[in-house]
């Protein structure tokens, strides 16, 4: 077992009391994710109490637990388990002597985090830690921090928010040497009212920068001035990325690559680099430029980063591409089922229009947390659908009614009530030669449609 924490270290970090000596190799707060040697953090939530799953966690191999109630198994007793997890995350960050990167943005957070991991791990294999899944909130960030091995050379952490002030708290825990904002879009606009306020909230990530830290911001964003002004208050260095000639890290030339990706020639302050981005789409080129800007800021190996971007696998729910057997032939499935906002919808539909296919089908689920602008922003997808040369659209959920009304007869479509109905329809409609894009907010449940298509039999 690779020792991550001893009971004495956990007690010191959290101010708790250890019932007995023990050591752990991992940390989990979901009993379903506990594996042998883990520390189980039993937290009390609004609907569940982790203490009810103590026996299950130890049955799956937990070596110890953080609890706010005494138990028979080895444990650290604290007043508040959630506060203890945050304290453990802070202690992990304090003992780590490597470099830390924080990533936020309305779109592209997880993809950029994963690409950075690949780029850094290529040079320091086994010495790079990153947050898994989308553990990017007030519980996920301290969990990810607490899991970081003490001898990590790099730590890459995704940070999300849907209210002002949330990123300010998270970035003070992460304390990044490099802080990235990937893009600004009207995601969660229900809670902010304007994109400008979203930009201000995203810019909070710079408040936690280390004294010699670097801010990485998108030059092409309409909100670059807002981001830059905030970065100037906290960053020792600011690097911009994008497609404009004034960006510090810019794509000078782009041509389609044979594998469906993009061959890019990028200009950086210290070098010029020609590389391939395996993932298709201009939005992925933008993510790649943010990765290169970060590697530049860290003084890392740009050539290795370029190779990692060329080999970057697609992420489930975030652009993964699968081949389906249909009607004696094949169809392409593009899985973007994890999340959606107007900017990411437009970007993926634009890329769909570049796919070689006999038909282009878009299965689109509603976009959540758009507030009073929901109808307007959904109806606004009519133009990207047309630009994406979509032959047939399946619109899923009540939120898509304004788009159905806006499309009229311009694009053939069906409007269905939920993901189950969409699954039945696409399994009937799809045929060999199709390119099928599936995209929507996670709550719509289109991941179940993707799973069903993966099991589809002719």
8 A C-beta contact, residue 381 and residue 346: yes
For the segment 255-273, the average pLDDT, to the nearest whole number, is 91
Please name which of 153, 144, 94, 157 lies closest in space to residue 120, comparing C-alpha atoms. Answer: 153
pLDDT in tens, 293-329: 999 999 999 999 999 999 987 788 888 889 999 988 9
8 A C-beta contact, residue 64 and residue 22: yes
Higher pLDDT, 46 or 44: 44
Tokens found for residue 429: 């409609």
For the segment 386-411, the average pLDDT, to the nearest whole number, is 93
pLDDT for 427: 94
Domains of the chain: 5-79 (3.40.1390.10), 96-310 (3.40.1190.10), 320-454 (3.90.190.20)
8 A C-beta contact, residue 60 and residue 34: yes
pLDDT in tens, 63-86: 999 999 999 999 999 999 999 999
For the segment 204-221, the average pLDDT, to the nearest whole number, is 98
Question: 237-276: b or e for each residue (b if 16 or more CB lie within 10 Å)?
Answer: bbbbbbbeeebbbbbeeeeeeeebbbbbebebeeeebebb
Please name which of 123, 106, 158, 116 lies closest in space to residue 292, comparing C-alpha atoms. Answer: 116
pLDDT for 312: 86
pLDDT band at 170 (very low <50, low <70, confident <90, very high): very high
pLDDT for 339: 86
For 407, residues 6+ apart whose C-beta sits below 8 A from its C-beta are 382, 385, 393, 413
For the segment 193-198, the average pLDDT, to the nearest whole number, is 90
pLDDT in tens, 272-285: 999 999 988 899 99
pLDDT band at 1 (very low <50, low <70, confident <90, very high): low
Residue 458 has pLDDT above 60, yes or no: no
pLDDT band at 160 (very low <50, low <70, confident <90, very high): very high
pLDDT band at 404 (very low <50, low <70, confident <90, very high): very high
């Amino acid at each position: 077992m690779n020792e991550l924490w001893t009971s004495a270290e956990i007690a010191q970090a959290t101010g708790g009391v250890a019932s007995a000596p023990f050591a752990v190799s991992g940390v989990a707060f979901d009993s379903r994710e506990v594996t042998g040697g883990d520390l189980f953090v039993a937290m009390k939530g609004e609907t569940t109490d982790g203490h009810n799953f103590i026996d299950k966690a130890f049955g799956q191999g937990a070596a110890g637990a953080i609890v706010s109630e005494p138990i028979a198994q080895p444990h650290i007793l604290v007043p508040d388990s959630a506060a203890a997890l945050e304290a453990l995350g802070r202690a992990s960050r304090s003992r780590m002597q490597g470099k830390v990167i924080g990533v936020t943005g309305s779109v592209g957070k997880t993809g950029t985090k994963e690409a950075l991991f690949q780029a850094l791990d290529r040079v320091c294999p086994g010495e790079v830690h990153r947050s898994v899944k989308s553990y990017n909130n007030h519980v996920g960030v301290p969990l990810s921090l607490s899991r970081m091995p003490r001898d990590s050379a790099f730590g890459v952490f995704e940070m999300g928010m849907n209210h002002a002030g949330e990123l300010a708290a998270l970035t003070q825990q992460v304390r990044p040497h490099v802080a990235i904002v990937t893009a600004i879009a009207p995601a969660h606009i229900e809670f902010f009212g304007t994109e400008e306020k979203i930009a201000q909230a995203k810019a909070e990530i710079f408040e936690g920068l280390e004294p010699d830290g670097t801010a990485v911001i998108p030059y092409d964003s309409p909100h670059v001035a807002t981001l830059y002004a905030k970065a100037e208050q906290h960053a020792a260095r600011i690097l911009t990325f994008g497609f404009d000639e004034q960006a510090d890290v810019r794509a000078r030339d782009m041509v389609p690559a044979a594998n469906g990706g993009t061959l890019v020639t990028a200009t950086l302050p210290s070098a010029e680099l020609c590389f391939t981005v395996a993932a298709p789409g201009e939005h992925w080129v933008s993510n790649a430029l943010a990765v290169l800007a970060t590697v530049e800021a860290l003084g890392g190996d740009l050539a290795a980063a370029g190779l990692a971007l060329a080999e970057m696998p697609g992420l489930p729910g975030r652009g993964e591409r699968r081949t389906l057997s249909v009607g004696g032939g094949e169809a392409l499935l593009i899985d973007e089922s994890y999340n959606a906002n107007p900017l990411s919808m437009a970007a993926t539909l634009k890329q769909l229009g570049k796919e070689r296919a006999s038909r282009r089908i878009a299965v689109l689920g509603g976009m959540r947390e758009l507030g009073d602008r929901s109808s307007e922003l959904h109806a606004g997808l009519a133009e990207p659908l047309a630009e994406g040369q979509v032959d047939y659209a399946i619109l899923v959920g009540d939120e898509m009614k304004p788009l159905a009304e806006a499309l009229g007869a311009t694009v053939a479509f069906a409007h269905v009530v939920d993901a189950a109905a969409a699954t039945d329809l696409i399994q009937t409609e799809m045929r060999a030669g199709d390119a099928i894009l599936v995209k929507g907010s996670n709550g719509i449940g289109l991941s179940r449609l993707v799973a069903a298509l993966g099991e589809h039999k002719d």
